[in-house]
Amino acid sequence: MKIHKEGYVIILIALIICATIFTVNHIFLKDILILYWLINAFLLVMFYLVVQFFRVPFRKAPQGDNLIICPADGKVVVIEETEETEYFKDRRVQISIFMSPLNVHVQWNPISGITKYVKYHAGKYLVAWHPKSSTENERTTVVVQHANGKEILFRQIAGAVARRIVCYSKENETVIAASEFGFIKFGSRVDIFLPIGTQIDVNIGDIVQGKTTVIGKI
């Protein structure tokens, strides 16, 4: 496991804040043992939570040119046919993965191919499971075209807590399935839009793991 580069500054700030509070606590409250140790325990837990949020576990991706790799850790909350209005402007199968603050928040490319479209949208901060969060929240949309000509759209969506989406994708670049393409800071969601008729290998309620879970075949 390693720490993601997006966390370096935040972890340093958290460390400084915790160290400052610990110092004040040690100077003024060390004789009030229960309160002293409760505060220290709270600081330790908070710092641990900040660090674990930016963890990047070492994972081995499954092999197969036609596999659709899960782009994020979390829980499958939507699998439905819907109208995709931004890029395809037609009917697609939508799969939505909700990420809690305790999940790994790196995102990975679900397929290999050419990045055809990347667009950032400023927006609201509705809770990530809200039906309108996919079209009204702050979000970044990416489309990758597979070697077989089929395209997959995937969208990073900010939630009520998430306030910054980071996307490294660039149009016309070649990407490899399970390579990193972005990071969302704190609770959030990722939507994937697949061609109608795509084989889907996950169900609503499934707990999925980015880079390792196969969600279907293209």
Query: Would the CA dihedral through 105, 112, 193, 66 be positive or negative?
Result: negative
Greatest extent of the chain over all pairs of C-alpha atoms, in Å: 70
- Of 96, 134, 169, 188, catalytic: 188
Report how far apart the first and last C-alpha atoms of the chain are (Å, whole number): 30
Q: Residue 87 and residue 62: Cα distance in Å, rounded? A: 29
Which residues lie below 8 Å from residue 98, measured CB to CB, with a gap of 6+?
74, 75, 77, 128, 129, 189
Both tokens of residue 159?
């939630």
Closest CA to 190 of 144, 150, 133: 133
* DSSP one-letter code for 54: T
100 catalytically annotated: no
Active site residues: 188
